[in-house]
Amino acid sequence: MKKVNLKSAFTPIIFFGLGILVTILFIVVYTFLTRPRAINTLGKWEKPASNKMGYPVVDKKTNELLIYDLEDKKLKKTDAQGSNPLPSPSLLYTAYLDNRGLSLKLLSSSLLKSTDIDNIDSEYVLVWSSDSNKLIYSKRDGELASGVPKLYTWLYDVKQNNKFKITEGRPLQWVDDNNIIVSRQSLDGEDVLWTLYLVNLKSGVSTKIY
C-alpha cells in the first residue's frame, strides 16, 4: 500500500484558504479606508435658528448680501459680502460664497447671521437637497492637468455640521436622499471631457449615465 503524505496533500488547500482570507481582509480594509468620512468643521455647534423665510439679493453697487423678508415684505441688511447665493428650498437658509475670504457660508434668514461651511479656492457648484438639510458642492483637490483643476463633490449636513468628501466630479442634481448625479472630468489629448454618473451616497457605487 502506498503511503500518502497528509501534510503534503493538505498544503495546497491551506494556502488556498489563506489566500481567500487575505483577499477578504483586503476588501474590508479598503472599504473602511475609502468610505466617506465625516469632518466636524466647528466643533460643538448648533444650527443657527431660522423660522422666517427669506430670499437673497445681492446689491449691484456694494455686493452686499441682502435678505428679502417674505413675512415683513422688506429688504434686510446682513453685513455679508456674498456672491452666487443659493436659498434652501425652505427659504430658511442661504448658502453663499463670502467675497472677502473665499469661504462657503450658511446664512440664517431670520437671524441674518452666517456660519462657515468650508474654504473654496476655485469655481464651485451648490445644490440643496429637497428637505433643506443637506448641501452638495464642488471643491478643487489637485489638478487633472496643468491649469485644469480636479474637482470633487462634498456633502455638508446642516443638522450635524459635518462635511463629507463624497466622490470625484462636480455635483449637478439630487435624485433622492441617497443618490446624486455628478459630472466627472477626463482627458482626451488636450481636451477635457465630461461624463455623467449616478452616485449612490450609501454604497459609493457609481453608474455611468452618458
DSSP 137-153: EEEEEEEEETTEEEEEE
Q: Where are the alpha helices (DSSP H) in the chain?
A: 6-34
pTM, two decimals, is: 0.74
At 17 the pLDDT is 61
Query: Is pLDDT of 61 > 80?
Result: yes
Residues of the chain with CATH 2.40.128.660: 122-210
What is the residue-averaged pLDDT of the chain? Answer: 83
Taking the C-alpha atoms of residue 113 and residue 123, their distance in angstroms, rounded to an integer, is 24
Share of the chain above pLDDT 70, in %: 75
- Contact call for residues 138 and 151 (beta carbons, < 8 A): yes
Query: Is pLDDT of 189 > 60?
Result: yes
At 121 the pLDDT is 72
Instruction: Kindly report, residue by residue over 5-54, the tens digit of the pLDDT.
Output: 545 554 555 555 666 665 555 554 444 444 444 444 444 445 566 789 99
105 pLDDT band, cuts 50/70/90, is: very high
At 157 the pLDDT is 94
Question: Going by DSSP bridges, is the β-strand pair 38-40/206-208 parallel, antiparallel, or unpaired?
Answer: unpaired
**Averaged pLDDT for residues 195-210:** 96
**Averaged pLDDT for residues 56-65:** 93
Q: Does domain 122-210 have CATH number 2.40.128.660?
A: yes
Q: Which residue has the higher pLDDT, 115 or 12?
A: 115
User: Is the Cα dihedral 50, 56, 60, 63 positive or negative?
Assistant: positive
**Averaged pLDDT for residues 69-93:** 94
Burial class (CB in 10 A: 0-12, 13-18, 19+), 99: middle
Most distant CA pair in the chain: distance in Å?
A: 102
Taking the C-alpha atoms of residue 101 and residue 28, their distance in angstroms, rounded to an integer, is 40
At 146 the pLDDT is 80
At 128 the pLDDT is 97
